[in-house]
Amino acid sequence: MYEELFKHGYAKRDTGTSLVFTLIDELRDSASTGDLGRVVEKYKQLVEKIMRDRPASYGAINALRLIGEYLLSKGLEGFMEYLDSLRRKYDRDCWEAARVAANRIVDGDVLITISNSLCVRRVFKLLVDQGRKFEVYVMESRPGMEGLDTASYLNDLGVKSYLIVDSAARFFMKNVKKAVIGAEAIAVNGAIVGKVGTSLLSLIANEARVRVFVVAPLYKFSLETIHGELVKLPEGDWRLLMSPDVRKSLPNEYRARAPLYDVAPANYIDGIATEYGLFAPQAIPVIIKQVYGSFPPRIRSLDEIGKLLEEKIGGGA
Amino acid sequence: MVRFHEKILEIAEGIRTMRIRGAGKIARSAAEALKIAAETYSGEPDPELFRKYMNEAAKLILATRPTAVSLPNAVYYVMYALESNLGFKELREAVIARAEEFIRNSLEAVRKIGEIGARRIKQDSVVLTHCHSTAAATVIITAYKMGKIRKVYSTETRPFYQGRITARHLIEAGVPVVQVPDSSVRYIMHEVDQVVVGADTIASNGALVNKVGTSQVTLAAHEARVRVFVAAETYKFSPMTVIGELVPIEYRDPTEIVPKEWIDKHPNVTVLNPAFDVTPPEYIDAIITEEGVIPPQAAILILMEKFGWALEKIKQGVKQSVSFEDSIEG
């Protein structure tokens, strides 16, 4: 539609949560065949795809873990219903986290946000439904420029917003009251993995004493980081920053790195809004213990689950 | 209405549309335009008429970019020649000579800044730069030729992608350069040893006005304890800030960020496109001028040394043949 935007590398992409919904839909399709082998095959493909394209997307990784465990213990029995209930749970948790965050916004607040997050959108939606008045600065969020999609969403909600380049965040921070952002993953020490620029935004907010709230249901928590795993941060190249035509106009030797995520340290985050309430990022082990019954929770890695599933299929056939 | 030579109008238009960009180039083009104006003056050989004509030319040039301080500084430098009590012919020659002197000094300043700045670059450094600055690029290239630079990160610099000009500039000099989006400067900062940026304007308290994003690059550097150097010719220092004038920040056309059709479809979205931001002096380790390295807080020294003659007049409020006020309106 906006030809010119493709020159800037604008691209539609799934948010961390909508990615989970897409995953569930794809598994649902393959499960309708009633063939466990095919479902496991599909499952493995999805795991591979996520680990390749979105290795920091813990909404998807945690969903795949739960689904894998279900397949291990029950196979396809009640699988469809399980997928539906999982979808409903993710959807509900995202709304609940948004509701908690919305409670922190008061009439007349000026917010700033980056990228495009489903749960952050829901914060805006709830505020509009409650009749609260607010304005939003939206960073364009290169690479990908999905900030434009957030601005479009706010436009349709009838909320006044200001679209700015990523470089202008500090310039406008003096006008802002609160930063509201989404997350791709949350590490056990409270560090937030978000779209690249998130850590810069939270640094700038802190410098200006602007509070930073992260809307992240518990499914975004990276349980692997408890065992010292690092969240993998993928990078792209010039293809995420411009069209092939624009690339042709640049010298052959031109090189670009396009990081997709960065990590905001816990001390720049004032609160994480989850479906269980608003927490200090450093309190994460407490909620994890509450929810899983122990700390560290007993979980299996996707690799382990994949291997067990293979044995199960192999043994069953 | 005075009619000017088309080359002058072309330069004015070039500065306005950012075909001519970068504070140094703008300043030299302004001096060049005034030189052409003097050369192509075709009115009566009367010093007063010539002064008036030059005044009009100066106004035309000053109106092109409201914020680039190098522009009024260059114009003021050249127009100072008109203060002398000379006959028409000598006056015209004086203007031309002063314009040429400004251009020569400006180019020489970049070379000197390159030499001085390169000494501040550590061995085997990874340097990050924002936007495109001839002075900053010259520091980097000079240091690279001394074998000091391993790699350069250059930010894209939205909305206009001046970083691509930097990339091209450095590639032509053989410097290994990697472009990164502006959003990733904090992510990349842990690999960076030193930051070198140019300047649009330096205020009397040492604050730096430069391409939007500079202040957050320096904030990220400060957080990571990475040193920040600003490469700035002395004509980037703003005499008007000494008497408390603010440096106005220019907002440019929103279509530089998103196409008009996008803007039209989103009536509740205001696209804001400030061209510059302000970096506080505490995030700057040193300003490298052609006169030497100074801490930003000593900016007033440069202003007194270089613009002492102008400062006196500004303080006295004497209306000059070309006043600074003309240039900072709007």
B14 and B131 co-located in one domain = no
B236: confidence class by pLDDT, cuts 50, 70, 90: very high
What DSSP string describes B167-213?
Answer: HHHHHHTT--EEEE-GGGHHHHHTT-SEEEE--SEE-TTS-EEEETT
Residue at A99 is within a domain: no
Structural domain containing residue B74: 6-109+310-328
**In a structure prediction context, what are the per-residue pLDDT tens digits for chain A, which is 317 residues long?**
578 899 999 988 888 899 999 999 999 999 998 999 999 999 999 999 999 999 999 999 999 999 999 999 999 999 999 999 999 999 999 999 999 999 999 999 999 999 999 999 999 999 999 999 999 999 999 999 999 999 999 999 999 999 999 999 999 999 999 999 999 999 999 999 999 999 999 999 999 999 999 999 999 999 888 887 888 899 999 999 999 999 999 999 999 999 999 999 999 999 999 999 999 999 988 888 888 888 888 889 999 999 999 888 875 44
B125 and B21 co-located in one domain = no
* Chain A residues touching residue B266 (CB < 8 angstroms): 151-152, 155
B154 and B280 co-located in one domain = yes
B296 and B173 co-located in one domain = yes
CATH of the domain at B157: 3.40.50.10470
Token pair belonging to B222: 């400060």
B262: confidence class by pLDDT, cuts 50, 70, 90: very high
Query: Is the confidence at residue B330, as pLDDT, over 70?
Result: no
B157 and chain A in contact, CB less than 8 A:
yes
Provide the domain count of chain B.
Answer: 2
A256 and A123 co-located in one domain = yes
B102 and B146 co-located in one domain = no
> Chain B window 216-275: which residues touch A at a Cβ cutoff of 8 Å?
216, 219-220, 223, 249, 257-259, 261-262, 266-274
Across chain B, the runs of DSSP E, i.e. the strands, are 125-129, 149-155, 177-180, 194-197, 201-202, 208-211, 227-231, 269-271, 276-279, 286-289, 292-294
- For B38-59, the pLDDT digits (tens) are 999 999 999 999 999 999 999 9
What DSSP string describes A100-150?
Answer: HHHTT--TTEEEEE-S--HHHHHHHHHHHHTT--EEEEEE--TTTTTHHHH
Please judge whether A155 and B267 are an interchain contact, meaning their C-beta atoms are less than 8 angstroms apart. Answer: yes
Active site residue B200: yes
Residue at A3 is within a domain: no
B140 and B284 co-located in one domain = yes
The pLDDT of residue B317 is: 52
B272: confidence class by pLDDT, cuts 50, 70, 90: very high
Range B235-240 average pLDDT: 90
A71 and A143 co-located in one domain = no
CATH of the domain at B105: 1.20.120.420
- For B176-195, the pLDDT digits (tens) are 999 999 999 999 999 999 99
Provide the domain count of chain A.
Answer: 2
The pLDDT of residue B313 is: 66
Structural domain containing residue A75: 11-94+300-316
B161 and B128 co-located in one domain = yes
Give the closest-approach CA distance of A33 to chain B in angstroms: 44
Residue at B1 is within a domain: no
The pLDDT of residue B322 is: 46
* Chain B residues touching residue A143 (CB < 8 angstroms): 181, 183
Question: Complex ipTM, two decimals?
Answer: 0.94
Interstrand relation of A192-195 and A185-186 (parallel, antiparallel or unpaired): antiparallel
Active site residue B285: no
Long-range contacts of A279-286 (CB under 8 A, 24+ apart): A280/A190, A281/A186, A281/A189, A281/A190, A281/A191, A281/A192, A281/A214, A282/A189, A282/A190, A283/A190, A284/A186, A284/A188, A284/A189, A284/A190, A284/A221, A285/A188, A285/A226
B315: confidence class by pLDDT, cuts 50, 70, 90: low
* Chain A residues touching residue B212 (CB < 8 angstroms): 165, 167-168, 171
Residue at A4 is within a domain: no
Residue at A17 is within a domain: yes
